[in-house]
Amino acid sequence: MSATTYTPPARPFAPIQFPAALAAAALLLGGMILIGAQVSARQAGLYLLGGALGLVLYHAAFGFTSAWRVFIADRRGEGLRAQMLMLAVAVLLFFPVLQAGSLWGQPVQGLVAPVGMGMIFGAFLFGIGMQMGGGCASGTLYTAGGGSVRMVLTLVAFIAGSALGAAHLHWWAALPSLPRISAVQSWGAGPAILVNLAVFAVIAAGTVWLEKRRHGRLVTTAAAPRQGPARFLRGPWPILAGAVALALLNFATLALSGRPWGITSAFALWGSKAAMALGIDAASWPYWQNPANAAALQNSVLNDITSVMDFGIVLGALLAAALAGRYAPNFRVPLRSAAAAVAGGLMLGYGARLAYGCNIGAYFSGIASGSLHGWVWMAAAFLGNVLGTRLRPFFGLEVERVPRQSGC
């Protein structure tokens, strides 16, 4: 059988969109100055770090949702293998530092959460929402920043669902659960690294075997339209380069903030603040009775680490889209697609609160923290993605497949 080459949708070799690029750069620079003056230089650094994450996510087209969908539907595993590389680099960086408890004099801790019935249901619901909404937490932010109007609908519903999840979390958290379990604390950094690397290798090898079984050999993508410095500035980047960059930037987040990268706690904050503006007493919810959460609800969102990083992601993606010449908002969203975006966003938001995080906070940063709940989240969310992938055609949403080869 001849080599199977998958050619993604064409990316026009368009010129840089200077007005949008300058606007994004100005907002990043202005935001850095404002946050530095009102909060701290460290907070301003985290805002710019969010911008770097958005640029990497966009230029590398690093998606969790599409990667899982094409594997489920078509057994193409390039995206999953990139995720395993990202996780491998992350555990090599994170585990020794988490065992030490500090990095360059700053106390650090991982994102470790209990595994319970509510957490498993939340991850499964999040998985369905990924395919219905068309993105995960990071994907929703960077595609919205890149100009996708449909993903703005998903993001608004995501925020509403997160607030609702925060209102109900105390009920779900009361269901039976295991205690917080960390492989770093239980086994030590060395053994935990070896076990995790072995699992990553098995998963990657499994995707290779299944992809070759389906297609005869690994499916390859077409050559990039740009090379050299132009490709670095304007993309697209190799997905493996994106995987390494995201692991390094997550480690930088740990160094600056004392904990790994997260996204969706900010959505619960924004949604709850909006609820209060509408006259709903969100401050009385048990979720906001925790002193740290209560302070976040009372203070400006610029004081919240996750919020400023999320703002940075959106603007970083806008900058990347403008540099690539691909910022072109389309306000025509078919009704069925819009309905799926809203329903998916609500499931994403609600599920993320129940599951103590999303594909970033629970899956990526959870596994990078050695947390058992990161692995359980991955399994439950993957099953949700299987169901969500099967639901997509009912809403007019594509399920990408490589055409079968034949001798005709």
Q: Are 381 and 128 in contact (CB under 8 A)?
A: no
Q: Are 236 and 60 in contact (CB under 8 A)?
A: yes
pLDDT of residue 13: 62
pLDDT of residue 404: 58
Angle at 316 between CA 312 and CA 320, to 5 degrees: 175
What are the two backbone dihedrals, phi and then psi, of residue 181, each rounded to the nearest 5 degrees? -125, 125
pLDDT of residue 105: 84
pLDDT of residue 408: 36
pTM given for the model: 0.93
Secondary structure of residue 314 in the 3-state scheme? helix
Tens of pLDDT, residues 323-378: 999 888 888 889 999 999 999 999 999 999 999 999 999 999 999 999 999 999 99
Which token pair is 313? 């992601």
pLDDT of residue 396: 92
pLDDT of residue 400: 86
Q: Are 56 and 333 in contact (CB under 8 A)?
A: no
Q: Are 139 and 63 in contact (CB under 8 A)?
A: yes
Q: Which helix (H) or strand (E) holds 221?
A: strand 220-221
Per-chain mean pLDDT for the chain:
92
Low-confidence ranges of the chain (pLDDT < 70): 1-13, 403-408
Cα gap 338→344, rounded to integer Å: 10
Tens of pLDDT, residues 210-234: 999 999 999 887 777 777 787 877 8
